[in-house]
Amino acid sequence: MREDGWSPETIAGRLPIDHPELTICHETIYQYIYAKRIKSRGMDLEQYLTLKRKRRMRQNGRSVRRHSKIPEAVSIDLRPKAVQQRKQLGHWETDNVIGKTTDKTALSVTVERKTRFTIITKLQDRTAATKTNALLNRLQKHVTRTLTTDNGAENTNHKTIATSLGLSMYFCHPYHSWEKGTVENTNGRNQEDIFQECKY
């Protein structure tokens, strides 16, 4: 968290991959961060979280979708294993960064896995049409083989994106943000700069 800006979810997801003998639940990390005994020792670990909340949100404050509601979404389980190796150009990850809940705008952040080349586009709203246009306009001049994203409603037009750009599109499991860790880490490391960009 301190050195790389990883979220607890990313840490929990990557730990058994990098160190098969170790596991941890992201909830355990959150409980440690917000524990009173930690705060009493002057360890303000929440400052390393993406949203830097001083207090935890209600744990069951939103419903969890176990399966994607996006029609004909292709699971990341079917994504070629070669994508994970970062040896081939053209494999991208995308995500939306949202500021205040009262603000309808957002930023589309799209990162190429091998080079970490990053494209940031301001979205006037969070609709699927706006997200689709942003991806088509910004990616058409680049090598595109695959695009990995989450199950947000803004990705509903995935078939249009895949056909127009000639790529295969894959979806993470719901609430498994570490499965698109490249863009998640990019957002975490550059959170303040990205939100500053939202003002313009």
pLDDT in tens, 34-52: 876 665 566 777 877 766 6
What pLDDT, on the 0 to 100 scale, is given for residue 145?
A: 97
pLDDT score of 63 more than 70? no
Residues 6 or more apart whose Cβ sits within 8 Å of residue 87: 114
What is the biggest distance separating any 2 CA atoms in the chain, rounded to whole angstroms?
55
Place of tokens 């909340």: 53
Q: Please answer whether residues 143 and 77 qualify as being in contact, where contact means their C-beta atoms are separated by less than 8 angstroms.
A: no
What pLDDT, on the 0 to 100 scale, is given for residue 65?
A: 46
Q: What is the DSSP letter of 2?
A: T
pLDDT in tens, 64-82: 444 557 999 999 999 999 9
What is the pLDDT confidence band of residue 61, given thresholds at 50, 70 and 90?
Answer: very low
pLDDT in tens, 155-164: 999 999 999 9
pLDDT score of 124 more than 90? yes
pLDDT in tens, 139-174: 999 999 999 999 999 999 999 999 999 999 999 998
What pLDDT, on the 0 to 100 scale, is given for residue 66?
A: 47
Task: Classify domain 76-197 at the CATH superfamily level.
Answer: Ribonuclease H-like superfamily/Ribonuclease H (3.30.420.10)
What pLDDT, on the 0 to 100 scale, is given for residue 193?
A: 55
Average pLDDT for the chain: 83
User: What's the angle, vertex CA 29, arms to CA 116 and CA 79, rounded to 5?
Assistant: 40
pLDDT in tens, 13-31: 888 888 989 988 888 888 8
pLDDT score of 60 more than 50? no
Give Cα 51 distance to the centre of its chain.
13
Quick one: what percent of the chain has pLDDT higher than 90?
48
Domain residue ranges in the chain: 1-61, 76-197
Q: Please answer whether residues 48 and 5 qualify as being in contact, where contact means their C-beta atoms are separated by less than 8 angstroms.
A: yes
Number of CB atoms found within 10 A of residue 179's CB: 20
